[in-house]
Each structure stands twice: as structure tokens, then as C-alpha cells.
Chain A
Amino acid sequence: MNATLARPLTLWLLALPVIIAVLGLALQGLAAVNASVFFAWSYFLEVLFAGLLQGVMYALVALGFVLIFKASGIFNFAQGSLVLFAALTMVGFIEMGLHWTLAFVVTAGVMVLLAVVVERVVLRPLVNQPHIILFMATIGIFYFLDGFGQTLWGSDVKVLDIGIPKQPLFVLQGVFEGGILVNAFDLVAALVGAVLVIGLAVFFHYTRIGRALRAVADDHQAALSVGIPLKTIWAIVWSVAGIVALVAGIMWGSKAGVQFSLALIALKALPVLILGGFTSIPGAIIGGLIIGAGEQVAEVFIGPLFGGAIQDWFAYMLALVFLLFRPQGLFGEKIIERV
């Protein structure tokens, strides 16, 4: 595997148990001095695990952003609506009587088609424009897709069920009394996330497309002059981002129902991106895990100190701290500015 990808990943995997142990001990200490905080190791691990799995769900959405940011240097505001549109389309096809696997393939085809249209109608006329112009264009795409999806498939809340198990599981019953409660659905989500990340890593690191992507993101004109087919690259990347959005849409849709608020989970992906770095695929995963675990643990163990309900803003606080000290994120490319 590519060294630049493998090294931070293994480092983090090694550091993870240490971080968890330190965090647990700190919270145990907190519980000892403050009576409003309840701490037990099994409970802590349960909360942490639920958080990590929730984080995978965030990471699924964040991945789509990373792909487009890597290839064009723009923050794709429309990623959330891509997720919604993909989920709506998938449900629509299932309601027509297609088996979900077939519906998945057809929807993936629709997402590729959408990518080609976006490239042709929106991106191509804006070649060589500043990133902010392209960003504004993606806001337009957001509203268009939002309306278009609901016009096509209706605006009702829909159920997406592709047979992912949802019953709770109890694991590690030998270690802790009563075991640790884990949601089977979240485990499937984690597995899907892992497969997706490995697939993307292979696509971008084993193939030369990665270097071409960075080149395109850096300077359109120069990329064209060395013969990188800008339009093809953009169409490929938007297609891949569309399919990632489809996977994210399926997972979120089966968990929370397919409805307009799916488009807003993009907002939760934002702190994930700031943490992981906008240009790093492993960064999106690790950022997602940190945000997911961080907000759950903070809510349960630190929340009582503030009177609770800190889950909603904790992720953004964490992102803010990162912006102050490491604006490129954990794995992002160094920001170089000559003055």
C-alpha cells in the first residue's frame, strides 16, 4: 500500500488504544471528583463504540466532499443534496418493484449521468474561474437537486429497507457484566465504510489518477497544458462522489428514513473535514471517528457538567480549535503561501 496512506493509518491504529485508555482514566478521575458524572468502564466503552460507529456514518458523507475537493479545490456544497437525491432515486426504483441490488445499479447509473450533466452544464463553462465561483455554482446545484429530486419522487418521508439487521447485540459478555450493547446496523455501516475506503484508496493511490487529480485541483490551465483531460477527470470524480453519496444515502436513509433532512447531514460532515483535512481520504475516516466518538463521550460524561445537550455543538467546537492550531487538518496538504 502507498506509504503516505499507510503510515498515518497504522500510527493512528497503534495510538488508538492508548488514547482510549487515557480518555477513560481522565473521565474516571472526573467522576471521582464530581458526583454528577457517572463512570463505569463497560458503559464508557459502550458509549465510545456507539460514537465511533456513528462517526463512520459521518465519514461516509465526508468522503464525497474530499473527492471533489481533491479534484477541483472546491467545497461541494451540493454533496448533501447528492446524498438526498441518490436515496430518493433508489427508493423510487425500489417502489417501482426493482430488487434493491438492481435499484442500486440503476441509481448508480443515474448518478454517473448526473455527474456528466453537471460537468457539461455547470463546470465546463466555469473552467479557470476562481474556486469561489465554482463554490457558488455548487450552491446552485444544491437547490436544483433538492427541488428536482422532490419533484420527481415526491416530498414524503420514505422508508428505505434493504434488509440490514437492526437488532441490538451484546458483545464482550465475558469481560463485563451484561456485556456491551452494540447496534448491528452500525456494524454493517462500519463494514460498508471500510469497503468503500479501501476501494477508493486503491482507485486513487494505485492508479495515476491521483497525481492528475492533484494537478487539476492546483491549476486548471497548467493541467490542461500537460494534457490532463480536465473534463474527463471532473466527470469521473463527480461520478465517484455521486456513488459515494448513494452509499451514504442508503445507510443514512435506512437508519433515519429518506427525507429532506438527509441533505443537512452535510453540515455534520463539515467538522469532520476540518479535522481530517479536506484533501485526505483516510483523514475523512479518522476525522469522522474522532467527531463521532468525541461528541458521544462528551455528551454522556462531560455534558452533565454543563447541564447536558452539548452533542449539537461539541463537534463544531472541536473543529474551531483545529482551525486555530492546524488549519490544514490532521492529514491535509500543507498550506503554502508566499508573501
Chain B
Amino acid sequence: MEPAMEPATAALEAESQETPAPKRLGETLLSVDDISLSFGGVNALSNISFEIREHEILAIIGPNGAGKSSMLNVINGFYQPQKGRVSFKGTTFRRMRPHVAAKMGIARTFQNIALFKGMSTLDNLMTGRLLKMKRNFLWQALYYGPAQKEEVAHREAVERIIDFLEIQAIRKTPVGRLPYGLQKRVELGRALAMEPDLLLLDEPMAGMNVEEKEDMCRFILDVNDEFGTTIALIEHDMGVVMDISDRVVVLDYGRKLADGSPDEVRGNPDVIDAYLGVSH
């Protein structure tokens, strides 16, 4: 395992020579406080606390089964923790609900792509706009004109995202037919269509080849840069993590091992032990 780390580390050291412009980090956007989650007797998460600040890119890393996906599921309300709280934009939730999370501006992608496979790329992205549309269905039935105008406006927003992600060519293709890498991109597009404040990405680069990974990295950085979207992502590719994240949280067996800048985390002996095994 150890040699595998070296190239990424070397690349990073080369890059950290040039000092990047300081990022405009804002207030705390989301904080999780003392979260514990168990399934039956298995503790998926124990007493996890951390926070995500505005405009930040936070990476959650850890070995398989460390509880990373569970953490995202707690944040957007798929799982209800037995203990702890999630605060988002100053509101504290004992139990977060998925549609409340979505309404408040948390969008996400999944480890095993969850797209609407029978629908076209465009329709998939349009589902991301559902919450932005007027909620009263009967009202729309009465006022077809304004409702149609609204549809057109949303369509424009979606087209901008399609341009941004360079998926114009597959606009009308049912996503079930797309190759894996493109499906991942469409899934990101659907999340972006929600114009989220916080974007949760569960292994956005899993199973991709080098070019696809580079594209995805570029999109993530651009989203963060252009729209100021805060991003929390889970990723196994250490090179990518060290490259794009502002801060890294390390989980292992449901506990938090470390929390800090990529450089701090890389030097943390606990993290090295967890990842590479103890090699005294």
C-alpha cells in the first residue's frame, strides 16, 4: 500500500510550492454535533462532530465501512441518528427529513447512481427543479399561461447546467442508456439543478477513468468557484482528495480520527495507521 501513496504525495508537494489565493470561507453552514447511529448492534457512527463552512470543499475519507456514506445519509435525513443533532443555516434538527433537507438547499448524489433511468437527461435535471416550482398544482391547472412561462424559465436554468457540464449531446437520451461516467455527470447535474447551498457527493469519481476523473474534478472546483456552493464529498482517490479539498475529515470504524487541512491530515500518525496498517 505504501508505495501507492507516494506518487500522489509527490505531486501534491510539487503543487503546494505555488501558494494559492486564500479562499473566501464564510460562516459555519452546517454542523453535526455528537452524532451516533447504530443498526441493531453495529455502531455505524459514534459521537461524530464536525462542521462545514460556507464555500468550503470538505472531503470525508476513511476505509470501507468507516461510516462515510452513513454520515451523508444522516445529514440529508435518510438515516435518523439515535443521538446528536444536525444544524443547517442556523436551524437545529433533532430529526432531519429528506424533503426538508432538499427544501433548505441540500442536494446530493449517490454512491450507486440513483437516477430516473427511464427519463431523458433533460427530464432528470428538470426533476431537480420541482421544488423551485410553485407548489400548488391546482393553481397551475387554472393559470396555464403563467405556469408555462415558469416551465420555460426552469428549462433555461437547466440548459445552463447542461452547457456547464458539457452534456448537450445527451440531452434527450434516456439516462439508462448512458455509460457510467456520463450517468455520474447527469446525477451531478440534477443536484446542481436544485441550486443547492450544500452539495453532498458520495464518491463522485468512483469507477471512472483518468480523463473522466479530471473532468469531474474540474466541474467540482468550478461549481465551488463560480456558484460558491459548499461541497462535502466522499472520495477514495487520495490524489484527488488532497488536490481539491480545503479540509479533510477522517472516519474509521464510525469514529472521527482527524479533522484538518490536507497537509495536517496526511501527517497524522493515526490516519496513516488506519489507512496503511500499523507498520512499526
Contacts and interface: CB of A to CB of B under 8 A. Distances in A.
Interface in B191-213: 191, 194
Contact of A211 (B103, B130, B131, B147): B130
A5 to B, nearest CB: 14
A57 B191 CA distance: 44
Interface stretch (B48-56, B117-125, B224-232, B246-254): B117-125
A236 B76 CA distance: 24
A225 B131 contact: no
Contact of A227 (B116, B144, B194): B194
B177 A336 contact: yes
A214 B144 CA distance: 21
Interface in B129-161: 130-131, 133, 137-138, 140-141, 144, 147
Contacts of B118: 214, 218, 333-334, 336
Nearest to A208: B133
Interface string A207-238: 11101101100110111111111100000000
Contacts of B144: 206
Bin the interface of chain B by size.
Answer: 35 or more
Chain A interface, DSSP helix/strand/loop, else mixed = helix
Contacts of A26: none
Given A207-B141, A211-B126, A338-B177, A225 B110 contact: yes
Nearest to B150: A208
Given A215-B116, A225-B108, 10 more contacts: A211-B123, A212-B127, A214-B118, A218-B119, A219-B115, A221-B110, A221-B114, A224-B78, A226-B107, A334-B174
B117 A336 contact: yes
B139 to A, nearest CB: 9
Contact of B98 (A208, A219, A224, A337): A224
B184 interface: no
A203 B140 CA distance: 10
Interface string A178-212: 00000000000000000000000011001111011
Interface of A: 202-203, 206-209, 211-212, 214-215, 218-219, 221-230, 333-334, 336-338
Contacts of A214: 116, 118-119, 123
B98 to A, nearest CB: 4
Contact of A206 (B102, B108, B140, B190): B140
A226 B128 contact: yes
A208 B140 contact: yes
Nearest to B139: A207
A224 B128 CA distance: 11
7 contacts: A212-B127, A215-B119, A218-B119, A221-B114, A223-B127, A224-B98, A336-B176
B141 A218 contact: no
Given A209-B137, A215-B116, A219-B117, A226 B78 contact: no
